[in-house]
A and B are shown apart, each in its own frame.
Chain A
């Protein structure tokens, strides 16, 4: 028993640390297994894959820390990607207008999610599941199921490079750093943790809980909208299938990174490590020529392991 408690403590005390070790191990294993893995081009390829999840995971981590969840992110990505393409190719708007409108769309979706959760006191799981459905319908209505291709300087966000580094990777690091500073060093960040710990206590401490909870949904949708532009820009084309399934990968990244599903605990930068693990795993299947069907199986298992670790943490808490 003593032993088990000790081990548990080691796991719980430094979740991010042990996850980071896992990432290192995976990297070493992959570089042995495949000579291509450590090639600069492959590394940037992996990083730009990760960036899609990495950017949104910052918002998702904040949402989960407040004790909520957002299942609509993937559909926000899809809708925003298509709207960006449509506004450019059909409405012929200049790129700054497109950027602004798409980000505005993200904000509106986030606000709707946030208000439904806070004002109507609906369960976040159901609310975002439903808004996700609605958004996916809207995307299909807009595209009529056909891809929309477009030409725009906006595509630079998804396919441009600064030196050897993809722009989207730089954006990801900026978002992660910004998100971490926000969560760890600002008053609002501290309050987000407080709300996740105990809403009632937070309310009585003068924290405007509803406003705060609403704002994390807005941040998440806004980042998803940004990600939508990146994804569309990467392909110079959008269709309704973009973004599908993002929510699972992102939630997995966040939980692997040490954020507790029961709220109040974890860090934003931990999700970067989580996203990296997911990204490398996916890359591994490509490089090692394993059927992509196995990919789903393995990733599912990784998620279960991560959630199981989270449950162990919570159980220990209750002692």
Chain B
């Protein structure tokens, strides 16, 4: 790695109505390095990257790229100079093939004006090999490959633009550790080829592993750049949050074997089967319990939750609540019997993008804020939303802000608030802390813990080993649609879980 600077950001400020997202930020990026960008939700990471890649211009400040001052008025201009960004939310078209996605809008043409399929496939194949997807057919539709492969395709797309500076915004937040590893391997290879990378992630251990330097942001300000090999996670966290941070999260107490013998079973799921995804899964949920469900992506965890909730077609399976069978045909039935579900994949299943924070948060509970004339009681709606907004410390300039303008982590908090507002007896959380910063994570864990102390039963689906181990009273491991193991907190061991996860 040379010491020459490829890009220098000087005094960048970005204002949005009601927010200063970036405040006089300076940052220099060295050629061929992996520079990690860290900071809490809403610190301005994505905003800075959007500016660098030409999505929108800064309010003030200069961008020096390869020694020259640049102003990008369009992402295409940045791409032409070799700056490509992979956004927090993927932008591939599911119905197109891998090759078509890579060369979307730039398909190679023959002299006749028809698409040059041969060249398209060959070029795509080469790019796929470069990102470690050599074995995959370029004609496969994007919807048929998994999340990490989609990330790799995104990278291939960026490389097809001859990117010199590659920006990755939380690429691993939806990946399992194994998949993330593959991606890191690809990044390492690209670094050897001299490509500079900016890497945003809330997974700090990843950052320690893969990056060369770490730039820390807090509240829209640039704080400091650390050299990865000379620093520690603790130091990074304290810079991010602006104070010394406590050690890893643990709850005050977990359910013991005795608790399991004495506490009532509040929900029982029997023989749940979803076509091709879940096979004959049965489990019990105890009062005030936090039950983890883990496994590899594709193990059927999400489908199981959604089937219980009435959102996924089940072949058969019964749900009993306090001993009585409940017929659940639609999520509304599940909600009526006290369930709530925070789904995985914010954009696809969690958000009403064009609606504001208030409307997004109140949508489930609104039925309780209706007057005699069947009109919405605005005052009450606002009051309740304000209360939960404060309780979850959502960072937003106002409740009327469109949710699409909030940072990823804050969007997630709004979705969690949506369900807490409805005061459920059973809360299902599917990857609840995806893209959430370390401080907010602890806050959310605390809230989950408190809810369980008050008698609510929680199911957490998570791929993060640490999350399962520190949050859950009990864990069920799934493998290929079946339960492959079960442990209570006192028996938790990473090795055992890993063995169950691999189906052995």
Tell me the smallest distance from the CB of B276 to a CB of chain A, in Å.
20
**CB neighbours of B334 from chain A (8 A):** 206
> Which of the residues A181, A197, A205 comes within 8 Å of B353, measured between beta carbons?
A197
Please, how many angstroms separate the alpha-carbon atoms of A313 and B351 in the complex?
19
Taking a contact as CB atoms under 8 Å apart, the answer to whether A187 and B376 are in contact is yes
A187, B335: Cα distance in complex, Å: 16
A186 near B418 with CB under 8 A, answer no
> Contact: B355 with A204, CB < 8 Å?
no
Restricting to B123-170, which residues have a CB under 8 Å from any CB of A? Answer: none
Instruction: Please state if A198 and B351 are interface contacts (CB–CB under 8 Å).
Output: yes
- Out of B55, B341, B353, B367, which one reaches A198, CB within 8 Å? B353
Q: How far is the CB of A235 from chain B (nearest CB, A)?
A: 38
A185 at the interface (CB under 8 A from B): yes
From known contacts A5-B56, A186-B375, A190-B366, infer whether A205 and B331 are also in contact, taking CB-CB under 8 Å. yes
Whole-angstrom CA separation of A264 from B375 in the bound complex: 20
Q: Are B351 and A187 in contact (CB under 8 A)?
A: no
A87 CB to closest chain B CB (Å) equals 34
**Which chain A residues (178-198) contact chain B, with CB distance < 8 Å?**
181, 185-187, 190-191, 193-194, 197-198
Report whether A186 and B354 are in contact in the complex, using a CB–CB cutoff of 8 Å.
no
A208 on interface, CB distance cutoff 8 Å: yes
A264 x B364 contact (CB < 8 A):
no
Which residues in A have their C-beta under 8 angstroms from that of B292? none
> Is B363 a contact of A190 with CB atoms below 8 Å?
yes
Chain B residue numbers with a CB within 8 Å of A197 are 352-355
Which residues from chain B contact A41 at a C-beta distance below 8 Å? none
Tell me the smallest distance from the CB of B72 to a CB of chain A, in Å: 9
Instruction: Give every chain A residue within 8 A of B375 (Cβ-Cβ).
Output: 181, 185-186
B73 & A204 in contact (Cβ 8 Å cutoff): no
Chain A residue with the shortest CB-CB distance to B381? A190
Q: Is the CB of B331 within 8 A of A194?
A: no
Chain B min CB distance to A316 (Å): 11
Does A203 make an interface contact (CB < 8 A)?
yes
User: A207 at the A/B interface (Cβ < 8 Å)?
Assistant: yes
Question: Which residues on A sit within 8 Å (CB–CB) of B335?
Answer: 206
Question: Is B109 at the interface (CB under 8 A from chain A)?
Answer: no
Cβ of A263 to closest chain B Cβ, rounded Å: 9
How far is A208 from B367 in the complex, measured between Cα atoms in Å?
13
Q: For A5, list chain B residues within 8 Å (CB).
A: 56
Min CB distance A15 to B, Å, is: 13
How far, in whole Å, are A264 and B404 apart by their CA atoms in the complex?
14
Q: Let me know if B348 is at the binding interface, CB within 8 A.
A: yes
Going nearest first, the 4 A-B pairs with the smallest beta carbon separation are A197-B352, A206-B332, A1-B73, A206-B335
Q: Which residues of A contact B485 (CB under 8 A)?
A: none
Q: How far is the CB of B95 from chain A (nearest CB, A)?
A: 15
Interface of chain A: mostly helix, strand, loop or mixed: helix
Whether A2 sits at the interface, judged by CB under 8 Å, is yes
Candidates A2, A181, A265; contact of B57 at CB < 8 Å: A2
User: A186-B374, A190-B363, A197-B355 known; A207 and B332 CB under 8 Å?
Assistant: yes
**B359 touching A201 by the CB < 8 A rule?**
no
- Given A186-B374, A194-B363, A319-B55, decide whether A203 and B355 contact each other with a Cβ distance below 8 A: no
Among A186, A194, A201, A205, the residue within 8 A (CB) of B376 is A186
Q: Is B330 an interface residue (CB 8 A)?
A: yes
Q: Does A119 count as interface, using CB distance less than 8 angstroms?
A: no
In the bound complex, CA of A208 to CA of B310 (Å): 12
Q: A-contacting residues of B (Cβ < 8 Å)?
A: 55-57, 73, 309, 311, 330-332, 334-335, 341, 343, 348-355, 359, 363-364, 366-367, 370, 374-376, 404, 418
* Given contact pairs A187-B366, A193-B355, A206 touches B56 in the complex (Cβ within 8 A): no
| Size of A's binding interface in residues, CB under 8 A | 26
User: Complex: how many Å from CA A181 to CA B378?
Assistant: 13
Q: A186-B375, A187-B367, A194-B363 are in contact. Are A201 and B331 (CB under 8 A)?
A: no
**B127–chain A nearest beta-carbon distance, Å:** 25
Query: Which residues of chain A in 253-302 are interfacial with respect to chain B, using CB atoms and an 8 Å cutoff?
Result: 264-265
Q: Is the CB of B351 within 8 A of A201?
A: yes
Q: With an 8 A cutoff between CB atoms, is A200 at the interface?
A: yes
**B364 pairs with A317, CB closer than 8 A:** no
Per the bound structure, the CA–CA distance linking A181 and B373 in Å amounts to 11
Nearest CB of chain A from residue B75's CB, rounded to whole Å:
9
- Could you list 4 further interchain pairs (A-B, Cβ under 8 angstroms) beyond the known A198-B349, A204-B350, A207-B332? A187-B367, A206-B335, A265-B354, A317-B353
Whether B354 and A185, one on each chain, are in contact in the complex, defined by CB atoms closer than 8 angstroms, is no
Assess whether A205 is in contact with B364, with CB atoms less than 8 Å apart. Answer: yes
Q: Select the residue from B309, B331, B348, B418 with max chain A CB neighbours within 10 A.
A: B331
Find the B residue at minimum CB distance from A4. B73
28 contacts between A and B (CB under 8 A): A1-B73, A5-B56, A185-B375, A186-B374, A186-B376, A187-B366, A190-B359, A190-B366, A191-B363, A194-B355, A197-B352, A197-B353, A198-B351, A198-B352, A198-B353, A200-B348, A200-B349, A201-B350, A203-B311, A203-B330, A204-B331, A204-B343, A204-B349, A205-B364, A206-B330, A206-B334, A264-B354, A317-B353
Residues in B with CB closer than 8 Å to A205 are 331, 363-364, 418
Residues of chain B with a CB closer than 8 A to A202's CB: 352
Is the beta-carbon distance between B364 and A206 smaller than 8 angstroms? yes
What's the nearest-Cβ distance from chain B to residue A81, in Å? 33
Name which of A191, A206, A207 has the most chain B CB atoms within 10 A of its CB: A206
Contacts of A193 in B (CB 8 A): 352, 355, 359
Give the residues from 194 to 227 in chain A that come closer than 8 angstroms, CB to CB, to chain B: 194, 197-198, 200-208
Tell me whether A201 and B349 are in contact in the complex, defined as CB-CB below 8 angstroms, given that A190-B376, A206-B364, A265-B354 are known contacts. yes
Q: How far is the CA of A202 from the CA of B311 in the complex (A)?
A: 11
Q: How many angstroms between the C-alpha atoms of A265 and B352 in the bound complex? A: 11
Contact B370 A187 (CB under 8 A): yes
Within the complex, the shortest CB–CB distance from A201 to chain B, in Å, comes to 6
Tell me which of A181, A194, A208, A264 contacts B332 (CB under 8 A): A208
Q: Please give me the residue from chain A that is nearest to B349 by CB atom.
A: A200
Query: What are the residues of chain B within 8 A of A208 when measuring CB–CB?
Result: 330, 332
**Nearest-Cβ distance from residue B331 to partner chain A, whole angstroms:** 5
B58: shortest Cβ distance to chain A, in Å?
A: 10
Q: What is the bound-complex CA distance between A319 and B376, given in angstroms?
A: 32
B169 CB to nearest A CB, Å: 15
Return chain A residues, CB-CB under 8 Å to B330: 203, 206, 208
Residue of A at shortest CB range from B72? Answer: A1
Which residues in B have their C-beta under 8 angstroms from that of A264?
Answer: 352, 354-355
Complex contacts, B352 vs chain A, CB 8 Å: 193-194, 197-198, 201-202, 264
Q: With A and B bound together, what is the CA distance between A264 and B366 in angstroms?
A: 18
Contacts of B73 in A (CB 8 A): 1
Can you name the residue of chain A whose Cβ is closest to the Cβ of B346? A201
Report A75-96 residues with CB < 8 Å from chain B CB: none
- Bound CA span A197–B360, Å: 11
Q: Which residue of A is nearest B91, CB measured?
A: A318
Q: How far is the CA of A193 from the CA of B367 in the complex (A)?
A: 15
Contact string, A51-85, partner B, CB cutoff 8 A, digits 1/0?
00000000000000000000000000000000000
Proximity bits, A103-117, B CB within 8 Å = 1, else 0: 000000000000000
Q: Which residue of chain B has the shortest Cβ distance to A200 in the bound complex? A: B349
- Once the chains are docked, how many angstroms separate the CA of A204 from the CA of B309? 8
Contacts A2-B57, A204-B343, A319-B55; A187 near B374 (Cβ below 8 A): yes
User: How close is A121's CB to chain B, nearest CB, in angstroms?
Assistant: 14
Contact of B331 among A190, A203, A317, A319 (CB under 8 A): A203
